[in-house]
Amino acid sequence: MIIALDGPAASGKGTLARRLAAHYGLPHLDTGLLYRATARALMAAGERLDDERRAVEAARGLALMDFDEDSLRGREMGEAASVVGAIPAVREALLEMQRSFASRPEGAVLDGRDIGTVICPQAQVKIFVTASPETRANRRALELARRGEKVDYAAVLEDIRKRDERDSQRSSAPLLAAADAVTLDTTALDIEGAVKAALAIVAERAASKV
């Protein structure tokens, strides 16, 4: 079974993806890490984030050691990932890696922006996870504070709005709910409530597609 979770920044899709993967014993790929690691490689080499040729090289050159999650989760890297993610050739360079992950015999859980629309249009279960920008900014601010980053709520909200706009307006694989995705609004839900709702969606989808 392939479970595709898409949604904007800090909607809760990452947490839900991890929980669903653990529940069903499936491997999980957080595809945002691919874009974050590409951005970090460019920055480390002193290259511009919008240099298409260098960005594609960075995406193609990603190695397992580039996925040290902690250093990729910061505020700056999310914004930088959104910039490289707007380059169609970078998306193309990262496509096969994601499809091959999804093609494991047991299935997989992937979360990102274009999983249900581009990477795995055949996924049995597609969930579009969303929440109000203010709720997402609150969650992201808490998460950054826990990481020890200095946080200014207004700046985090501004980041979220900017990222929503860039991710939704780009020409290639914009953030979009697939036509057959179920939308899960987590604004009024805590983590356990959101997990319960997601499990119910998966159960319903899995039953209807047998």
Q: Which residues bind ligand DC (CB under 6 A)?
A: 9, 31-32, 35-36, 78, 81-82, 85, 112-114, 163, 167
Distance of alpha carbon 178 from alpha carbon 77, whole angstroms: 26
By C-beta, is 12 or 32 nearer to ligand DC? 32
Task: Please name which of 53, 52, 79 lies closest in space to residue 162, comparing C-alpha atoms.
Answer: 79
By C-beta, is 28 or 206 nearer to ligand DC? 28
Minimum CB separation of residue 73 from ligand DC in Å reads: 8
Minimum CB separation of residue 166 from ligand DC in Å reads: 7
Question: Within 10 Å of residue 145's Cβ, how many Cβ atoms?
Answer: 12
Backbone angles phi, psi at 112, to 5 degrees: 180, -140
Minimum CB separation of residue 114 from ligand DC in Å reads: 5
By C-beta, is 31 or 186 nearer to ligand DC? 31
Which conformational region is residue 205 in: left (phi greater than 0), alpha (psi within -120 to 50 degrees), or beta? alpha
Minimum CB separation of residue 142 from ligand DC in Å reads: 15
Distance of alpha carbon 110 from alpha carbon 158, whole angstroms: 27
Minimum CB separation of residue 93 from ligand DC in Å reads: 12
Residue sitting closest to ligand DC (CB): 32
By C-beta, is 26 or 34 nearer to ligand DC? 34
By C-beta, is 172 or 206 nearer to ligand DC? 172
Q: Extract the tokens encoding 198.
A: 């997601």
Backbone angles phi, psi at 3, to 5 degrees: -115, 120
